[in-house]
Structure 1
Amino acid sequence: MTVTLAEKIEIAIVDDHPMVVEGLKTLLKKEKNIVTHSFTNGANLISFLQNNEVDVVLLDIVLPDVNGIEVCKEIKTMASRTVVLALSNQAERSIILQMLQNGASGYLLKNVSADELLQCIEEAQKGGIAFSKEVKAIMAKPSQYDLQAVPSLTKREKEILKMIAGGKTSQQIADTLFLSLFTVETHRRNLLHKAGVKNVAELIKIATDYRLL
């Protein structure tokens, strides 16, 4: 089945692999109603969106300058009506959930067919949540983290989390960041509480699963 988009739309492709970008541009140019823009990193896209509008962003997760999950959040802050669809090789359920929580309207794996891609774009533009077939299968599988929201961490908490994961003691962290031992211990307890875990090993596992490190 061939899908044809009825209305003219502008689509931004964000991916640092030239072959992926050119392949998508070639595919989308077959649709007379589509205008494409391409970017190899998140910063260039955000700069473009400050003075221009697009209808849809096809966004890779792994970019050379910033995580696509953070880019998605920034896009939705700047332009809430812009539809963001993740287009990635990352098939982890936790990443899919993070993208949705940051405002994405869908998630597609890069092996998606041309018709399926256009169907998902159309579905997302109509206000739906669009998944490629393989992502639907991933989302159908139960996960121990389904009912647990991704912990929202402050900049300082993220900094301390990375140092904990690096094996530093509370005293070493305090010395490095010029904080009191009491302050670091407080941050450590807050991290455990936010993650809903009892020890550092579990904290690091959840942080890894949710790509917080």
Structure 2
Amino acid sequence: MNLKISILVADDHPLLLKGLRNELLNLNFNVLEGANNGAQALEIIAKKKPTIAILDISMPLLTGFEVIKKSKESLSTTKFIILTSYKEKGFILKAKQLNISGYLLKDEPFSEIKKCIKKVLKGEFYASSVFDDVFKNEVSPQIEKIKFLSPSERTIVRLIANENSTKQIAEILSISSRTVDKHRANIISKLDLQSDSNALSVWVSKNKDLLDLV
């Protein structure tokens, strides 16, 4: 049964790549020749259409995220699992935006990868506990705050994210600078930020990608 399921592993660390392929072969999966850079992984996915691709994030030529994005743009049916050392909010948010099937840390036992593959084949999402912890404690609270912003306020936040000044925002939206300032004050209040001049800009620089999730 497992032989019908083809798996690609892509990682630029030879020992990890070889070890993971061997473990999957022992489980009787149809394991394709591994890729040691993102461009090679993308080419294999396009040609051989594996059931699952297990990708590192940091690889030469193309990152794991870039491989996933380009594959999805080509309407690939491959399901993607990220296997990485990164547990920071930015990486987890990017993974969420790409709607991947699994997110695992490299320091976890192989049994976790096996469990993840089983879930992914059932059409379920599976991730390391740290993924859920970061999303629950760092990402979701900010998303809930953004939901309280009006459409106009979200537009202004996006314009701030694109480094537009108050004057430029006023010109783009055909409103007065005073109206923009009122919106900024309301946004600061709803986001529960300090009312100093840089607080909103700092928040936007850290959380602008969250706007795409709301």
* TM-score by shorter chain over 0.5: yes
**Residues 74/112 of structure 1: CA separation in 2 closer, same or farther (3 Å cut):** same
The aligned residue for residue 204 of structure 1 is: 205
Distance 1:61 1:203, change over 3 A: same
- Offset of residue 203 of structure 1: 4.0
Partner SS, residue 48 of structure 2? coil
Give the secondary structure class of the aligned counterpart of 1:40.
coil
Shift of 1:42: 1.3
Match of 2:62 in 1: 66
Instruction: Indicate how the Cα distance of structure 1 residues 84 and 137 shifts in structure 2: closer, same or farther if over 3 A, else same.
Output: same
CA contact (8 A) 1:91 1:135 kept: yes
Residues 20-31 of structure 1 mapped to structure 2, 5 A cutoff: 20-31=16-27
Residue 104 of structure 1 pairs with residue 111 of structure 2: no
- Which deviates more from structure 2 when the two are superposed, residues 139-148 or residues 17-26? 139-148
Counterparts of 1:125 and 1:43, CA distance in 2: 25
Q: TM-score, normalised by structure 1?
A: 0.65
In the TM superposition, residue 129 of structure 1 has moved relative to its aligned partner by 0.4
Q: Using the alignment, how far apart are the partners of 2:143 and 2:36 within structure 1?
A: 32
Report the equivalent of 2:142.
Answer: 145
Greater CA deviation, 196-205 or 62-71? Answer: 196-205
Q: Mapping of 1:1-213 within 5 angstroms?
A: 6=2, 8-143=4-139, 144-147=141-144, 200-206=201-207
Query: How far apart in 1 are the matches of 2:27 and 2:75?
Result: 25
More helix by share: 2
Taking structure 2 as the reference length, the TM-score comes to 0.65
Shift of 1:90: 0.5
Number of equivalences: 172
- Aligned partner of residue 49 in structure 2, secondary structure: coil
Deviations along 1:121-160, one digit per CA (max 9) or x if unpaired, are: 11011110011234344344343434569xxxxxxxxxx9
Take 2:203 and 2:113, find their aligned partners in 1: how far apart are those partners?
A: 37
Secondary structure in 1 matching 2:12: coil
The one-letter amino acid of 2:93's match is L
Q: How much does 1:82 deviate?
A: 0.7
In structure 2, the CA distance between the partners of 1:7 and 1:122, relative to structure 1 (3 Å rule), is farther
Distance 2:134 2:118 in 1: 22
**1:95–1:6: structure 2 CA closer, same or farther, 3 Å change rule?**
same
Structure-1 separation of matches of 2:93 and 2:206 = 17
DSSP-derived class of the 2:34 partner:
strand
Structure 1: unaligned runs, 5 residues or longer: 150-159, 165-169, 171-181, 187-192
Compute the displacement of 1:207 (Å). Answer: 6.2
Q: Distance in 1 between matches of 2:78 and 2:142?
A: 28
Instruction: Tell me if the contact between 2:6 and 2:30 (Cα under 8 Å) persists in the aligned partners.
Output: yes
CA contact (8 A) 2:37 2:60 kept: yes
